[in-house]
Amino acid sequence: MKNRSETLRDSIEEMIATGAVRPGEHLDETELANRFGVSRTPIREALIQLASVGLIVIRPRRGAIVAEIPPQQLVEMFEVMAELEAMCGRLAARRMSPEEQQRLKEVHLACREAADNRDPDDYYYRNEDFHEALYAGSHNAFLAEQARILRRRLRPYRRLQLRVRDRIGNSFNEHQAIVDAIGEGNGERTAELLRGHIMIQGERFADLIAFLNQLAPRTA
């Protein structure tokens, strides 16, 4: 069961992921405390937790601000994310039990419902369930935890990608190919598909950069 600071951490993280607060914006402890009806102590603890995964930066005399990622670093982080996911997929294709494969198919079908409704927010959460099923199927707890840490760090940018035209439909089709490759027990094919699913390059990179202005700090 989550304690208060962990619940607040998740709420503030959601604000960052949805763009309610944007890269470069200041996070005022008093305002957050008033917003959530708590004292500043659990807010401070939540901000420290978010700083530990790189979503915010805490600076002396400036307090907490939402972290900004330069485009080149963003590409590098997605490159690492792609390799972590590929490793999870390769292991999952070899190690998933029939029950775990059935679970993957179930969350995949949930993704289709969100894709059919063209709901990027719902699809985002269903997509999280899909990748969590892959991590579980890898049966490598350390690898899974590293993948989760980086996925969390990239949340605002992964979420933004789903608003690019046709990305939800393409993502779902990529999921289908991954499910098929796992069903065949083809680890190398699964790894290749996941690497392509995560990587941002070419048009996908250009689209993401074009949308980054949506996350730019608001000006008065």
Q: Sketch the domain layout of the chain as residue ranges.
A: 4-66, 71-215
DSSP string, 126-143: HHHHHHHHHHHHHT-HHH
Per-residue confidence band for 60, with pLDDT thresholds at 50, 70 and 90: confident
* CA terminus-to-terminus distance, the chain: 40
Judge contact between 40 and 162, C-beta under 8 A: no
Q: Say if residue 175's pLDDT is above 80.
A: yes
Give the integer Cα–Cα distance in Å for 188 and 153: 27
Q: Say if residue 51's pLDDT is above 50.
A: yes
pTM given for the model: 0.78
Q: What percentage of the chain carries pLDDT values higher than 90?
A: 57
Per-residue confidence band for 161, with pLDDT thresholds at 50, 70 and 90: confident
The DSSP secondary-structure symbol of 60 reads T
What topology does CATH give the domain 4-66?
Arc Repressor Mutant, subunit A (1.10.10)
Mean pLDDT of 29-39: 93
The alpha-carbon radius of gyration of the chain (Å, integer) is 18
Give the integer Cα–Cα distance in Å for 9 and 2: 10
Judge contact between 138 and 88, C-beta under 8 A: yes
What topology does CATH give the domain 71-215?
Four Helix Bundle (Hemerythrin (Met), subunit A) (1.20.120)
